[in-house]
Amino acid sequence: MKTLPFSKEDVLNWTKNHPTPFYVYDEAGLRKCVTDLYKAFSWNKGFCEYFAVKALPNPSILRLLKELGCGTDCASEPEIVLSVKSGITGKKIMFSSNETTVREYEVALKNGAIINLDDITHIEFLEKIAPLPETICCRYNPGKFRNTNDIMGHLYDSKFGMTYDQIKLAFKTLKEKGVKHFGIHAMLASCCLEEDYYPRLAEEIFALALEMKKDFDINVEFVDLSGGIGIPYKPGEQPVDIFKIGDEVRKVYERMVEDNGLEIAIFTEMGRYITGPYGYLITKAIHYKHIYKEYIGVDASCCDLMRPAMYGSYHHITVLGKENAEAAGKFDVVGSLCENNDKFAVDRKLPKVDIGDYLVIHDAGAHGHAMGYNYNGKLRCAEFLMHPDKSIKMIRRAQTMNDYFITLDIDEDFKR
């Protein structure tokens, strides 16, 4: 059974001033998660977490993570600007992009970010923009790896990264062109609950780093394990033990890196693992429909959380005040979009839901609000940060009708 860090009474208090739907992020949970991550890798002198901004692009969250020592993983100009405005600058930004524009590279270089090249052709592309920076990272795709899943798919079908031959040639070429500091990046799985994923990934990248030293006398100074570690979306799933993972990576590091007289900093780019379990979408039941199935209509839609519609993902749902009630049947929990995949749950066993009940959709803190959109003219909902005393602070207001219309070539009559 999944639990909540707040109660029905807390939500009733919040909704006196803030209409649903809205997101709530648990500050205490976020702090503990990052603190534990740094403890788990404290044996590595250069360890740094580069939080994946795409998971939760909000400056209040980024400032909180900066306070805990994190950098950011960015993939676009707005994400770089968001990081800089949040106080995260220079080599605390990892710019990992693909099919990258000239403008994006210019902004990354201007702000001193570490450039993570996705393809060997980007060496020449980058050279046309500016002199190559002294520090370069390259993204590796070995083509096959045991830990894969539906989100990432097979690595042969992945558009990301360089092949083995390409990345070796890229490093050789970069050294010849004057690059002095090197890193290797790889993300070979997504939402992985197998605790051997990071150790096996580290072994794969360390082996490549040793080849770079042997073949080209290149010292790989950092290895970026990226993200990929998952969270238990379903009640029966167990969370990974980050301390066990850190210790297993340490064993691989000592055997492959230290024993060869090298020193390599380890980076991670968690998004889902850090914020996923500590974000909640609060919505209200507004309709009940009985046709061929039983439907509960809520005031949120997949414009607010599209993972179930896009991936068929499971998100646990709690009906506040009825946590221990017996199931009254199977229900589809749906939003109001003109699309039949606008469903948060399908055939989900739930207690009797009354109109006006509040439903909490769990594990929505990563790739939740961030993936929202305005289909059917739906306006984006607000975000709140919950402090340990259960008070909440608005960190993004709800979108207004004027916000929706502001980019259009329209007259004043549309403004409200």
In the prediction, which pLDDT does 188 show? 84
In the prediction, which pLDDT does 166 show? 95
In the prediction, which pLDDT does 190 show? 82
- Residue ranges of the chain with per-residue pLDDT less than 50: 151
- Count how many residues are written for the chain: 416
Residue 263: both structure tokens together: 């020193």
Q: pLDDT tens-digit profile of 200-237?
A: 999 999 999 999 999 999 999 999 999 999 999 999 89
Report the percent of the chain where pLDDT is more than 70.
95
In the prediction, which pLDDT does 294 show? 97
CATH class, domain 8-23+277-405, is mainly beta
Reference 322, options 287, 285, 291, 288; nearest CA is 285
Tell me the three state secondary structure of residue 267: strand
* Residues near 271 by beta carbon (within 8 Å), at least 6 away in sequence: 51, 52, 53, 54, 55, 56, 73, 227, 366, 367
In the prediction, which pLDDT does 346 show? 98
Domain map (residue ranges) of the chain: 8-23+277-405, 26-276
Q: pLDDT tens-digit profile of 264-297?
A: 999 999 999 999 999 999 999 999 999 999 999 9
Hey, do 8-23+277-405 and 26-276 end up sharing a CATH topology, with the first three levels equal? no
In the prediction, which pLDDT does 157 show? 59
CB 335 within 8 A of CB 300: yes
d(CA 65, CA 57): 12
Sequence letter at residue 143: G
In the prediction, which pLDDT does 142 show? 82
Q: Read off the pTM.
A: 0.94
In the prediction, which pLDDT does 161 show? 82
* Residues near 170 by beta carbon (within 8 Å), at least 6 away in sequence: 117, 120, 123, 138, 162
CATH class, domain 26-276, is alpha beta
Report the percent of the chain where pLDDT is more than 90.
90
In the prediction, which pLDDT does 154 show? 62
In the prediction, which pLDDT does 97 show? 84
Neighbours of 60 (CB within 10 A): 18
Q: pLDDT tens-digit profile of 91-101?
A: 999 999 888 99
d(CA 139, CA 281): 34
Pair type for strands 294-298 and 265-268: unpaired
